[in-house]
Chain A
Amino acid sequence: MTVRIYEGSGEPAGGGSMSRRSFLRTGTAAAGGITALAAALSPLRELTSDDIPSVESFVQKHYKEMTPKDMEAALARIRARVEKRCGVRPEIRDIRPLDGVEFVYALNLSRCIGCRKCVHACVAENNQSRSPEIQYIRVIEMPRGTLDVEQGNHHYDRPKVPDEGHFYLPVQCHQCANPPCVRVCPVEATWQEPDGITVIDYDWCIGCRYCEAACPYWARRFNFTQPRIPAGQINPNMSYLSNRPRGKGVMEKCHYCLHRTRTGRMPACLEVCPTGSRKFGNVLDPESEVSYILRTKRVFVLKEEAGTLPRFFYYFDERYPRGLDPEAIEIERRLRAEEGDAYGALPGADGPAPQRVAAARWDGGSVA
């Protein structure tokens, strides 16, 4: 067999046989090609059986396109996968939104002490990866007198909280009514439900992380690796759109614990809060706690100028937290100077001047 290789001039080289030069050039190119191919394929060596989807799950439809029968099959597959991976038989359901319900969160900044219990209760409830760590809630320690989150620090590590010079701003998914994360998703793997919760179909997400970049609240998290959850820490109460275990390469975020809240219960972060700072409810119900707060309290949303219309509101009880009102501190200082040891006695029949009543209104003795 004669290999005819043409040089650049178009003339046959070396009378029909391959020249040394062309052999080496071809060989170099081939070796380079093999190298590139090997490098490109080498990650395949790390594949496990978990990474390779079954045919059924590969052709699984988008959440909104699934028939009830499709959903049953999908839930059965998830059940089997979770049982194999985590050793727990989950109770997984697909829970639909309730009619006439729009969820709203309110958080009392006057009461939050920054103890981070909500962060870890959320992780335990929602089966987030423990290592690498994924948390939906960030508690930002903010210097008093500003709402510029650039000045905040979420890595605070004090022996005791709260610190007098700071307030604490927990941030999680705001379930925006105009969510930028939904708009940028190229595959519609994330959308807003009728009850206001923005959800993710973890089986449809392609992991492009556009939504993470679009979110002004840093609420979305990406699974860079297979999530790792220690044995015995899986919460078996799951739903398709909320806390079922995620895979590598998909986004996740807070979903207001929809497997709890759509059955009437409270979110996990709220129930664990030791101060009662967190309020949750149906804003369409005028009798609900959140409706009362929105009507009567000083309420604001974070980054209002972004136009996202969040369903997560922050509010205050009073102008200053107890013991930090400069006016009250000044009154106390003046009365102490005027009255000396008698300061603090309750006004009585034969006793103190009326101005003490003003001081008594301020519960200064309870400052920790």
Chain B
Amino acid sequence: MASAPANRRMGGALAGVPLAGGFVALAAWMWLAPPGFDPQIAEPVMVERSLLAVAPRRSAMTDPASTDLGGFRQSCNGCHQIFTVTGSPPGAGTVPSPALPTAEVDTGQGAARQEWDSDTGRVPAPPALHAGIALRHGLNNRCTNCHDSKDLERLRLHDGKPIPYSQVAMLCAQCHGTVYRDWERGSHGKTLGAWSNDMAEKTRLRCSECHDPHAPAYPKYTPLPGPNTLRMGRQEATHAHDEKHRPLRRLLSPHENGGHP
């Protein structure tokens, strides 16, 4: 009478045997060789320490002005006391007369006019020592706009007053007034050392410690490596509007992107 249900029970219980065995095997595997969590972690991206150096972007000219001549520091007047520069044509201030021939100097980006030796009307080639100077300063393309034609070691203001290299900001301020105002108050330019006005370590960089006076626009930089996050991994360079970066929008409006409805 009870045999049929008993057999059924027996069959159900027997089916549990492989199940239990499976569990035991699983337990043994988890204990002996746990699967573990193995996230894909990329190798660290190394950035050269030299790229992170804290220093002014360039070394500015200091008084007395000098140049590198065959491995020796040589003052500008060492040559320029012999090879004088007559400067701008008489009567035109800093502006060359249109009748005067000018030399075209290839500066890589456009030509800059030289005004050397205007008395004879002949313009010699720029001295080899100055060949490294790329003059890309917009409309300000006359040497004697900033350099004193009488004393080429010095800078001079538009009114002829000489100024030392340490006060180069005064020279730049003649044209870049708003930038000079911001630099004086600290919103333009760079402050190193300390944020506190009371600390001696606080140093403000001068114009020419960041900008090349002959080509003041910043060059383009090679960016350092982008983020490589645990969750997302390194991404391909993509445009901001690439739909790959906006999966939600793609889901919400599939028709816009030619996706399947």
Chain A residues with CB under 8 Å of chain B are 20-21, 24-25, 27-28, 31-32, 34-35, 38-39, 41-43, 45-46, 106, 108, 113-117, 119-121, 124, 130-133, 135, 138, 141-143, 150-162, 166, 224-225, 228, 230, 261, 264-266, 270-276, 279-282, 285, 287-289, 292-293, 296-297, 315, 317, 322, 344-351, 359-360, 363-368
Contacts and interface: CB of A to CB of B under 8 A. Distances in A.
Interface residues of B, number: 92
A161 to B, nearest CB: 5
Given A21-B12, A161-B223, 7 more contacts: A21-B9, A34-B23, A346-B95, A348-B98, A349-B95, A365-B139, A367-B217
Contacts of A364: 138
A35 B92 CA distance: 97
Contact of B13 (A24, A114, A158, A292): A24
A351 B98 contact: yes
A25 B20 CA distance: 9
Contact of B190 (A46, A276, A288, A347): A276
Contact of B224 (A119, A153, A347): A119
12 contacts: A21-B12, A42-B31, A106-B187, A130-B45, A133-B42, A133-B227, A143-B240, A153-B238, A276-B191, A281-B195, A282-B196, A289-B195
Given A272-B54, A350-B97, A230 B39 contact: no
B31 A124 contact: no
A216 B62 CA distance: 48
Given A35-B30, A132-B39, A350 B224 contact: no
Interface string B22-43: 0110110011001010010111
> Secondary structure at chain B's binding surface: helix, strand, loop or mixed?
loop
A157 B237 contact: yes
A366 B224 contact: no
B17 to A, nearest CB: 6
Contacts of B36: 46
Nearest to B37: A43
Contacts of A32: 20, 23
Contacts, number: 255
B43 A131 contact: yes
A142 B240 contact: yes
Interface of B: 9-10, 12-14, 16-17, 19-21, 23-24, 26-27, 30-31, 34, 36, 39, 41-47, 49, 51-54, 57, 91-98, 110, 136-139, 141-142, 182, 185-197, 199, 201, 205, 210, 215-230, 234-242, 245-246
A113 B210 CA distance: 14
A300 to B, nearest CB: 15
Given A32-B23, A272-B54, A363-B139, A368 B219 contact: yes
The listed residue with most A CB atoms (<10 A of its CB), out of B136, B201, B223, B229, is B223
Contacts of B217: 322, 366-368
Contact of B192 (A116, A121, A266, A349): A266
Contacts of A297: 187
A20 B220 contact: no
Contacts of B97: 348, 350
B39 A151 contact: no
Nearest to A295: B185
Contact of A347 (B10, B95, B210): B95
A156 B223 contact: yes
Contacts of B242: 153
B228 A116 contact: no
Contacts of A158: 223, 237
A-B pairs with lowest CB-CB distance, top 6: A289-B186, A365-B138, A348-B95, A130-B44, A276-B190, A157-B237
A120 B240 contact: no
B124 to A, nearest CB: 22
A258 to B, nearest CB: 12
Contacts of B187: 106, 108, 279, 289, 292-293, 296-297, 315, 317
A134 B30 CA distance: 32
A317 B183 CA distance: 11
A212 to B, nearest CB: 12
A228 B44 CA distance: 9
Nearest to A160: B220
B195 A266 contact: yes
Given A157-B223, A365-B136, A21 B13 contact: yes
B139 A155 contact: no
Given A154-B226, A156-B237, A133 B45 contact: yes
A24 B39 contact: no
A153 B227 contact: no
Given A265-B201, A276-B205, A225 B13 contact: no
A297 B92 CA distance: 39
B218 A275 contact: yes
Nearest to B48: A120
A264 B195 contact: yes
B7 to A, nearest CB: 11
A248 to B, nearest CB: 12
B226 A156 contact: yes
A138 B227 contact: yes
Given A130-B45, A158-B223, A364-B138, A282 B195 contact: yes
B30 A155 contact: no
A65 B242 CA distance: 50
A246 to B, nearest CB: 15
Contacts of A287: 197
Contacts of B241: 143, 151
B181 to A, nearest CB: 9
A254 to B, nearest CB: 15
